[in-house]
A and B are shown apart, each in its own frame.
Chain A
Amino acid sequence: MAFMDDRLGQSRDFFQNTEMVLDLRNRPMRSDEISALYTRLYQKSMVRVVEVRLSDHLSFSMAGEPKKSRAAVEADGESNDCVPVIVRNTCRSGVRVVSSSDCVVLGDVNPGAEIIAEGDVIIFGNLRGVAHAGARGDQSARIWALSFEPNQIRIADLVAVPPRGAKPARGRFEIAEIRDGVIQVVSL
């Protein structure tokens, strides 16, 4: 604790007003220890611990409203493990799913919902909201969906909107990927 106070004092600017994920996978802590750490960090330098990881497939969120509806998200693993986030219901307006690897949605993505993944986005349903694949700049990331009628799709740092008045073809798998520097939607 004393060491941490010292460190926080030294690098005050670095930690100022940031959000932090507390990783306790290798060192389990009691709940009162966690809460002491939480208040200490907040008072000292406005660091908010937003998420506590307890083990590989168990984590809980400390701040803000629950972004995902109950039991929606199975696991939030590390990207090098390639454990995708699986959402087992329809993503409705206002839902925002963020994944550090791929993201699989078993249902529709409705207008107003956002799916953001550092890898691919795979939707077994209609994509009507916003999907962002390769959020960390991976240009080879792709978006897969049974039907594309989105508000907007993004891959890496490119943004595309569907052409006006185009009627989507239903019931076949389509893929959005970067070809020659632009986002293109092709059917499988």
Chain B
Amino acid sequence: MAGKTIVVTSGKGGVGKTTTVANLGTTLAKKKYNVVLLDTDIGLRNLDVVMGLENRIVYNIVDVIEGKCRKEQAMIRDRKLSNLCMIPAAQTREKNSITEEQMKELCSSLAAEFDYVIIDCPAGIEQGFKNAIAGADTALVVTTPEVSAIRDADRVIGLLEAALVRQISLIINRLNAKMVKKGDMMSTNDIIALLSVPLLGVVPESEEVVVSTNRGVPLVHDRSSKAGAAFRGMAARLNGESIPLDGDSRGFFGRMKRLIWD
């Protein structure tokens, strides 16, 4: 059976697409699925940095598409998990050096071998975005609780619907529960009411994310991290398991309370 191809996109830059790709990919690989991460942000690659694999790059996605190497040669295996690998983007080329048709072909050939193909989409809605979504059957739209990010997410969802992507879900990143309580930040419900797509998960704002990105080790390797727990919940939901959404954003006391109530 062919695997799932998932594109992680947002429209606006800096909302956490690459972090999401790295963490979801790592979580799924930890569950013993074969996962390949595909960086399509040609010219501005950084998935390799987040994964801590920058110094192992020999070939990249453009080399694979142009036939300069086999796709197995461009795949870089993760340092910890042998069933996780990534294909980096080219840094010295441009977004239009590949076409949508070529991406479709690459995605379907990867989906035949792997359980999950996760595509890191560039910011914007130009050629790079069109390439990234061409081969995907599922889309995860990442947004932060800011008006500008939500506006862009709305536009991107419209474009995904027009491109006939079957399944679209939402990830809300960097939610600050304290600010929501004070009424200074849009709440999860406000965002869902506006965007009207199903929610996959909410990632709380956390300093750990910055640390893990700089160290090049995905957050989910750290068992105690709350943001990591959010990513684990999302991966499980992506996998078809039903896990309540509330568990992600509540603190220690919330969890205790639930234990007592249940």
A binding-site residues for B, Cβ under 8 Å: 66, 69-70, 89-90, 92-95, 107-108, 110-112, 128
Contact = CB atoms under 8 A, between A and B. Distances in A.
A94 B196 contact: no
Contacts of A94: 155, 158-159
A94 B195 CA distance: 14
B157 A92 contact: yes
Interface string B133-175: 0000000000000000001101101110110100000000000
B260 interface: no
Contacts of B158: 69, 92-95
A70 B162 contact: yes
B259 interface: no
Nearest to B155: A93
Given A95-B158, A108-B196, 11 more contacts: A70-B161, A92-B154, A92-B155, A93-B152, A93-B155, A94-B155, A94-B159, A110-B154, A110-B195, A112-B154, A128-B194
A66 B162 CA distance: 9
13 contacts: A69-B161, A69-B162, A70-B161, A70-B162, A89-B161, A92-B157, A92-B158, A92-B161, A93-B158, A108-B194, A110-B154, A110-B195, A128-B194
A70, A89, A90, A95 interface centre (most CB from chain B within 10 Å): A90
B154 to A, nearest CB: 4
B196 A112 contact: no
A111 B154 contact: yes
Q: At the interface, is chain A mostly helix, strand, loop or mixed?
A: loop
Contacts of B194: 108, 110, 128
A61 to B, nearest CB: 13
A110 B195 CA distance: 8
Contacts of A90: 196
Contacts of B151: 93, 111-112
B155 A112 contact: yes
B202 to A, nearest CB: 21
A93 B154 contact: yes
A69 B162 CA distance: 5
A150 B161 CA distance: 23
Interface string B166-210: 000000000000000000000000000011100000000000000
Contacts of A66: 162
B152, B154, B161 interface centre (most CB from chain A within 10 Å): B154
A78 B58 CA distance: 61
What 7 pairs between A and B have smallest CB-CB spacing?
A: A92-B158, A93-B155, A93-B154, A94-B155, A69-B162, A92-B154, A110-B154
Nearest to A92: B158
Given A90-B196, A110-B194, A70 B155 contact: no
Contacts of B195: 110
A138 B111 CA distance: 56
Contacts of B154: 92-93, 110-112
A188 to B, nearest CB: 22
Contacts of A93: 151-152, 154-155, 158
B157, B161, B164, B195 interface centre (most CB from chain A within 10 Å): B161
B194 to A, nearest CB: 6
Nearest to A95: B158
Contact of B164 (A70, A92, A95, A128): A70
Nearest to A91: B158
A110 B158 CA distance: 11
A108 B164 CA distance: 20
B124 to A, nearest CB: 13
A143 B162 CA distance: 27
Contacts of A89: 161
A65 B195 CA distance: 22
Contacts of A95: 158
A95 B161 CA distance: 12
Nearest to A89: B161
A70 B158 CA distance: 10
A110 B161 CA distance: 15
